[in-house]
Amino acid sequence: MAKSSNTTLVILAFFAIYVIWGSTYLLNKIAVLELPPFMLASFRFTTAGVLIFVWAKIMGINVSITKKQLKNTIIAGFLFLSFGNGVVVWALKYVDSGFAALEISAQPLIILLLMWILQGKKIQPMSIIGVIFGIIGIYLLVSQKQIITKEGSVLGMIMIFACMLSWGYGSLFVGKADLPSNYFVNTGYQMFTGGIILALMSFGLGEEWSSPADWTTKVQVVMVLLVIFGSILAFTSFNYLLKSVSPEKVATSTYVNPIVALILGWYFLEEEITFQSIIAAVILLTGVYFINTKKSLTIFARFKR
């Protein structure tokens, strides 16, 4: 009976990191069409952080941390959420959700190159093949005339790449930083502080804030989905899977998320899926596969959404 229950939880958790995380691109795209991007991201992560602390209090989890841990969670929150996610939400004003997900699927390539440049890590032969595939895939993806001729699309693509560098450096940072041992508490601090920084960024850029009561019903629903499912449930599922199944199985979300995002963007927002995008996706994800084959760095998937 217990085994059956565990199997069900694993299946549900995979659904969360496959479909829910994949759907966050669509949800952010819908919301950013009505709300300022940094206000949107700030509200999402600050609310999620507060809810995590409330839940920790109910469960009797100690949320106290040292000053050094607080400093490190603020840095991680900025790299992953304030810049890494907030700027992606901004870029979604100019690029399709499926396109953004495909570009971001090259994250393992960026981390691999950063590990080589900053830490002197040797790149394995299989990973070198992955890098070559990844570069070709990215080129095919971003060189499409119907994409680069859209107003603001080139800037959007560049900023998404900058976000990937931020995530990549953040991934290396958290690997060595002194952070709260309880991942739930760690997540709560990163989301809350990242959300506060996003609010400061929003005010600094002069974004006009509005009350959730003034949002359309569609955006209200989207925000609930982003906070409860995209921020809390999916991340909890991710950490549950890391303890329940092999890391390489968890890392498969890297391949599935962009496919889910492409399909949802095409179905709900009528985003165009070109033949070149499909070829780019196949080549790019093949490259990611080769990179992950030798070394399953599951942190690739973490904090991406």
- 219-260: per-residue pLDDT in tens? 999 999 999 999 999 888 887 887 788 766 777 788 889 999
pLDDT tops 90 at residue 101:
yes
What pLDDT sits at residue 56?
A: 93
CB 288 within 8 A of CB 106: yes
Instruction: Give the chain's mean pLDDT.
Output: 89
To the question of pTM greater than 0.85 for the whole model, the response is yes
* CA 97/CA 106 separation, integer angstroms: 15
Domain spans of the chain, in order of start: 2-300
What pLDDT sits at residue 249?
A: 78
pLDDT tops 90 at residue 148:
no
3-class SS letters over 73-141:
HHHHHHHHHHHCCHHHHHHCCCCCHHHHHHHHCCHHHHHHHHHHHHHCCCCCHHHHHHHHHHHHHHHHH
- 39-98: per-residue pLDDT in tens? 999 999 999 999 999 999 999 999 999 999 999 999 999 999 999 999 999 999 999 999
pLDDT tops 70 at residue 297:
no
CB 209 within 8 A of CB 56: no
What pLDDT sits at residue 260?
A: 93
DSSP string, the chain: -HHHHHHHHHHHHHHIIIIIHHHHHHHHHHHHTTS-HHHHHHHHHHHHHHHHHHHHHHHT------HHHHHHHHHHHIIIIIITTHHHHHHTTTS-HHHHHHHHTTHHHHHHHHHHHHH-PPPPHHHHHHHHHHHHHHHHHHT-HHHHTSTTHHHHHHHHHHHHHHHHHHHHHHHHS---SSHHHHHHHHHHHHHHHHHHHHHHTTPPP--GGGS-HHHHHHHHIIIIIIIIIHHHHHHHHHHHS-HHHHTTHHHHHHHHHHHHHHHHH-----HHHHHHHHHHHHHHHHHHHH---GGGTTT--
* CA 248/CA 253 separation, integer angstroms: 10
pLDDT tops 80 at residue 159:
yes
* CA 257/CA 105 separation, integer angstroms: 8
**Average pLDDT for 18-37:** 96
Closest CA relative to residue 38, chosen from 213, 206, 186? 206
What pLDDT sits at residue 199?
A: 98
Query: pLDDT over 70 for what percent of the chain?
Result: 94
* CA 65/CA 179 separation, integer angstroms: 8
Query: pLDDT over 90 for what percent of the chain?
Result: 67
Lowest mean pLDDT of 19-28, 85-94, 223-232, 293-302, name the range: 293-302
Instruction: Using pLDDT thresholds of 50, 70 and 90, give the confidence band for residue 3.
Output: low
pLDDT tops 50 at residue 300:
no
**Average pLDDT for 131-160:** 90
What pLDDT sits at residue 295?
A: 52
